Structures are given as structure tokens and as C-alpha cells.
Amino acid sequence: MRELRCRDLRFDCDGVVRANGEEGVLQRAAEHARDVHHVEQFPPEQVHEIRAQVRDGADGNPAARGA
């Protein structure tokens, strides 16, 4: 299970997205960013930073929290 926390990207948000792989995390993160933060798209250089923040996470429900 992999995860990404909004706070790791300097958002004032307790949201955490989880999925089985990095691509799944990035897809869920994009949905969370759009739905919660009203961010439609990240510039390519920021996508690199986002990928760098994806970590191994706890097992559990791979749903977005804080959405």
C-alpha cells in the first residue's frame, strides 16, 4: 500500500490518499486535488515533487480521507 499526505505537499489539509501502487495514488491525489482544493492540473515540475512524496503506507481502505 502506498500513500500521499496533503500536508507533505504544504497543503493545510489532513487528506491522505492510498492505493496499491504509485500510479493509483497519483490518480486518487489528482481527484482529491480537484474535488477538495479546486486544482485542475499540476505543472510538470510539481508532478515530480508529488511523486517524490509518495510513501509506503499502512494497510487499510485505499479511499481518500479528508475528501
Position 41 in a domain: yes
Tell whether 17 is covered by a domain.
yes
The number of folded domains in the chain is 1
36 in a domain, yes or no? yes
In a domain, 65, yes or no: no
Q: Does position 64 have pLDDT exceeding 50, yes or no? A: no
CA angle 15, 34, 2 (to 5 degrees): 45
pLDDT at site 66 = 45
Residue 6 within a domain:
yes
Q: Domain span at residue 49?
A: 2-56
Confidence band of 59 (pLDDT split at 50, 70, 90): low
Q: How buried is residue 6: exposed, middle or buried, by Cβ count under 10 Å (0-12/13-18/19+)?
A: buried
- Domain contains 30: yes
**Residue 51 domain flag:** yes
Helices (H), 1-67: 22-37, 44-52
In angstroms, rounded to a whole number, what is the distance separating the alpha carbons of residues 42 and 52?
A: 14
